[in-house]
Amino acid sequence: MIIGIDLGTTNSLAACFKDGNVEIIPNRLGKKLTPSIVSIDEDGTVYVGETAKERAMLHPLESARVFKRSMGTNKEFQLGNQTFTAEELSSLVLRSLKEDAEAYLNEEVTEAIISVPAYFNDLQRKTTKQAGELAGLKVSRIINEPTAAALAYGMHQQAKDSRYLVFDLGGGTFDVSILELYGSIMEVHAIAGDNFIGGEDFTALLCSMFFEHTQIAPESLDLRTLHEVIKTAEACKCAFSDQHEITMSCTIHNQTYKMNLTLEEYEDACAPLLEKLRRPIERSLKDAHLGLSDIDQIVLVGGATRLPIVQRFVERLFNRTPEKLVDPDYAVVLGAAIQCGMKERQKEIQEIILTDVCPYTLGTEVVVNNGFFEERGHYLPIIERNTVIPVSRTQTVYTAYDNQTQVNIKVLQGESRMAHHNLYLGEVEVPVPAGPKGKEAISITYTYDINSLLEVEVFVHSTGVRKIIMIQNEITRISDEEAKERMKKLQYLKQNPRFDEVNRLQILRGERLYEEIPEMRNEIDNAMMNFEQALLKQDRLKIEQSRKQLTKLLDKIEFHLNQDHQL
């Protein structure tokens, strides 16, 4: 069975194409969204999703979130006495989604199509694929999130030719893609974005405003208190969806601090963030050689597009109302599942050719004459960004020094004029006959395919020497033995049992609310003791009855707590 996965910064989810329809797969708690959070307890048991989110409130030092932003880097996350890369943490989320899918579908899931931000570079895409493999999945394709969203909106079934701009603002990343549908071909014309802006930043801004208003130094707070402020800010941000004014209230060091804020005041404060969203839109239109009036439809994707200030920003910019026919939280995974149906050649899906573009320029380092001397370290583009892929391009370079016997071709990705500011992907070295500079010609051919695989061919004209390599960055290059060891490490982490998860979640909620609301401690304590006694007796009916009573109490308490934060 093959499933589509939206591996998000804030939430992740899975879907499949079954019996002619797309079906979102609920997780073990019956919810569609699984928070992209991992937590590990003192016994080494791993929690993923909602339980990890609850546990992170109590044990922030043993939990990790927003690690998608660190994909493709060497950053390590310390959870208790264990360290993980973003790739390994992502694999734990993916493994949880895989297990939930197998339980729901009642069959083994071996393959997946995983979505990534369109603006992910080559290294980030490769580590996403490796995360899937560490989770026990064959990743048959990496699909760009906006392209998946376009499929979810049924653009592949439209009768007339149209141009679409997909505005995809998630929890941690932003993409804008311009697509055109003509006949049975959906072609991506241009993509742009920012991998370091999303809904989390709008929450962080609200926290900063609160700290400035109350004159509290955030560095003076412990992690648990800081997480409480962030949680309250998130609730207040969401409250702006149906309220014009909010009151953010937090109790810190036994003192209650409040901040009143109108939607207009918040929008003014968000101006720098909104400006960061404007630049990729302008860049994508420029790369596609289009104006605002050339776009037929604007599509909003990603949970952060629910924010009124984001919707108003898009409406003012384009002078029209964007499409919101598909729930922005689900658009990407629905499209990934449709892609699964296309791969399996399901008869219910109209056959369509999907083209994509190269998100970043690919090139190499060269020596240039600056008018005074030969200067090293300049960037020579070979495949320009937003070139339709698959593509092959060739550039010819010449020896830069007298009696040069080796030519080193560095393979780079990025947009900077100077080579060292771009992402290093690998290198190829070829011998050349010694002679005067400029005598030996060397052809460099880059071939980039739909799965972001880059083949580099270097050909020395005078000798016929030819070298061909598939680029795999040194940071992610691991041997088969190392891969097996990493899989073994992750597989032997103790996973929180599926059937215990719903019970454990309520216990964690109870523990958190017990600490947060002293005046309700007796009531919470009694309800939790009753539930724990039912668990000890292992009577499933009594467990369910007791859990419902505890959940009802905690829901009531949490509702009033949120009202206090938001009103």
Q: Domain holding 86: CATH number?
A: 3.30.420.40
474 domain-assigned: no
491 domain-assigned: no
Q: ω into residue 431 within 30 of 0, thus cis? A: no
Give the helix/strand (H/E) hosting 23: strand 21-25
Evaluated on CA atoms 167, 452, 66, 27, the torsion sign reads positive
Do 452 and 384 fall into the same domain?
yes
Do 25 and 123 fall into the same domain?
yes
- If one counts the domains in the chain, the total is 4
Query: Which amino acid is present at 311?
Result: Q
Burial of residue 519 (CB within 10 Å: 0-12, 13-18, 19+) is exposed
Q: Which of 464, 483, 507 is the last residue of a domain?
A: 464
83 domain-assigned: yes
553 domain-assigned: yes
Cα gap 15→20, rounded to integer Å: 13
**Strands in 280-415 per DSSP E:** 297-301, 353-357, 362-369, 374-383, 388-389, 391-398, 406-413
SS3 content of the chain, % helix, strand, coil (to 5): 40, 30, 30
Do 108 and 202 fall into the same domain?
no
Do 408 and 549 fall into the same domain?
no
Do 337 and 294 fall into the same domain?
no
Do 348 and 379 fall into the same domain?
no
Do 4 and 41 fall into the same domain?
yes
481 domain-assigned: no
- For position 473, what pLDDT does the model report? 44
Q: Which of 446, 464, 482 is the last residue of a domain?
A: 464
Q: Is 520 helix (H, G, I), strand (E, B) or coil?
A: helix
484 domain-assigned: no
User: Which residues span the domain enclosing 232?
Assistant: 159-325
111 domain-assigned: yes
Q: How far is CA 10 from CA 43, 89, 478, 510, in A?
A: 26, 13, 28, 23
Supply the pTM of this predicted model: 0.80
Do 282 and 241 fall into the same domain?
yes
Do 43 and 169 fall into the same domain?
no
Q: What is the CA radius of gyration of the chain?
A: 26
Which residues sit opposite 23 in a β-bridge?
16
* CB atoms near residue 358 (< 10 Å): 23
Do 174 and 315 fall into the same domain?
yes
Do 428 and 335 fall into the same domain?
no
- For position 352, what pLDDT does the model report? 66
What is the full per-residue pLDDT of the chain (567 aa) written as tens digits?
Answer: 899 999 999 999 999 998 888 999 999 999 999 999 999 988 888 999 999 999 998 899 999 999 999 998 889 999 988 899 999 999 999 999 999 999 999 999 999 999 999 888 888 998 999 999 999 999 998 998 988 988 888 765 555 678 889 999 999 899 999 988 877 777 888 999 898 899 999 999 999 999 999 999 999 998 889 988 999 999 999 999 889 999 999 989 889 999 999 999 999 999 999 999 999 999 999 988 999 889 988 999 999 999 999 999 999 999 988 987 789 999 999 999 999 988 887 766 666 667 788 888 999 999 988 777 888 999 999 999 988 888 899 999 999 999 999 999 999 999 988 999 898 998 999 999 999 999 999 999 999 887 677 899 999 999 999 999 887 544 444 556 666 677 677 766 766 555 578 888 998 999 888 877 778 888 898 898 889 888 888 778 888 899 999 999 999 988 876 665 443
Do 217 and 277 fall into the same domain?
yes
472 domain-assigned: no
